[in-house]
Amino acid sequence: MGTDNDFVSYSGDTGNIQHIWHTVTVPLGADTYDIVIGPGLLTDLAQDLKSSLAAPRYLIITDSNVEDYLGVDLVRLLRQSGAGVDLLSFKAGEESKNMGTIVELASKMVDLGADRQTAVLALGGGVVGDMAGFLASIYMRGVPLVQIPTTLLAQVDSSVGGKTGVDLPEGKNLLGTFYQPVRVYADIGVLATLPRAEIRNGLAEVVKYGMIQSREFFDFLEEKWRDIVSLEPNVTARIVFNSCSIKAGVVSADEREGDLRRILNFGHTLGHAVEAAAHYQIPHGEAVSMGMVVVSRISAAKGLMPRRDLERLCGLLDRLQLPGRIPAELRAEELMDLLRHDKKARSGRPHFILSKGIGQILITDDVSREELAAAIEASRA
């Protein structure tokens, strides 16, 4: 599996500064689109949008933080290029990701006279991407969507693949659609203002891609971990590119989350249980990191994964400041009960994405409570 994407570059040639960009194509038939990756994209975005999407008008949807960091500038740049543009923002944070905010935004879109030719630009992290994507998919039965992810997690994960949605009081992402963007712009320069904890959330996903599909990429992460931590531009572009290529390959083979797309949940099923047991006081990336270690321990105990690969995973996570140990206060019994209620558990029996070694996975529901409990206990702080 994989895509034909290579780390080839072309230059943004619309400004005075030459920026090196890379493109990943997500091949989905009529819905095929490109992810453009590189520093300084936002400066050239107005020109590129004009040539790739003939929308008479743009509506930027963003959150209250990103509005200040980037939203105001983007409005100015788009207006300078002659485009009609409005901006709507909502309070930053997962608490805003609900139907109430969607209805408020939709009403404001009506007030602004947004019609079916208005393209929605989702400028922000995964919360903005999921919400703006959902709104674009249902507003007047669908308007064009452009993703402009501004967190590492959104650049390597949530902006790719077309999943949109909002939370319900009963659980996360329970309402949503599959809706592909027409283009994605991942400007790695915008990561400079992102808090460290948010960078770590994205890095957990980056390690996951190596684990599920590419030993070569994992080797690269091990070799370049210092540049990764310091967000060196070329290395950052490379990790976003490789992550998007791997996700693009998976979603193009399985757009609607059949069996293949489930490999993207490596470490996540357990990670969700960790987050819930800790009342969401443990950040998502840290929980995923712990989850990857536990399922890898199960894999090693079953003789599927070489012990050396488990050590390499723990070593890399540690260098990237991601935890591999589960805090003592999270009881194994509670984690296992939460796993049974995960929405992705089929017929009440949790599925596990195990590792057959770095770069190879195996999906199975053949994991006993005893094996799971032993792996959790072996991962204690």
Ligand X SMILES: NC(=O)c1ccc[n+]([C@@H]2O[C@H](COP(=O)([O-])OP(=O)(O)OC[C@H]3O[C@@H](n4cnc5c(N)ncnc54)[C@H](O)[C@@H]3O)[C@@H](O)[C@H]2O)c1
Neighbours of 122 (CB within 10 A): 32
Q: What are phi and psi of 360, to 5 degrees?
A: -140, 135
Q: Is 194 in the site for ligand X (CB under 6 A)?
A: yes
Give yes or no: 65 in active site.
Answer: no
Taking the complex as a whole, the smallest distance from the CB of residue 250 to ligand X amounts, in Å, to: 11
Considering only residues 117 through 176, tell me which ones interact with ligand X, judged by CB under 6 A.
124-128, 130, 150-151, 153-154, 157-158, 161, 163, 172-173
Of 63, 255, 275, 342, the residue at the interface with ligand X (CB under 6 A) is 63
Our answer to whether residue 98 is catalytic in this structure is no
DSSP calls for 35-55 = EEEETTHHHHHHHHHHHH---
Q: How many Å apart are CA 205 and CA 191, to the nearest integer?
A: 16
318 contributes a contact to ligand X by CB under 6 A: no
Name the segment binding ligand X (CB under 6 A); options: 31-39, 186-194, 322-330, 370-378: 186-194
Separation between Cα atoms, residue 373 and residue 355, nearest integer Å: 18
Does 66 contact ligand X by CB under 6 A? yes
Check binding of 71 to ligand X (CB under 6 A). no
Side-chain half-sphere CA neighbours of 50 within 13 A:
13
**Residue 108 falls in the annotated catalytic set:** no
Task: Examine residue 39 and tell whether it contacts ligand X (CB under 6 A).
Answer: no
Report residue 20: phi and psi, to 5°.
-90, 125
Our finding on whether 342 is near ligand X (CB under 6 A) is no
- Residues paired with 184 in a beta bridge: 35, 147
Find the binder of ligand X among 18, 32, 117, 193 (CB under 6 A): 193
> Is 74 a residue that touches ligand X (CB under 6 A)?
no
Contacts with ligand X by CB under 6 A: the residue count is 29
Q: Residue 23 interacts with ligand X (CB under 6 A)?
A: no
**Secondary structure in 3-state letters for 159-219:** CCCCECCEEECCEEEEECCECCCCEEEEEHHHHHHCCHHHHHHHHHHHHHHHHHHCHHHHH
Q: Tell me whether residue 284 is one of the annotated catalytic residues.
A: yes
Tell me the catalytic residues. 141, 163, 205, 247, 257, 261, 265, 268, 272, 284
Please give the residue ranges that form the binding site for ligand X (CB under 6 A): 63, 65-66, 69, 92-94, 97, 124-128, 130, 150-151, 153-154, 157-158, 161, 163, 172-173, 190, 193-194, 198, 201
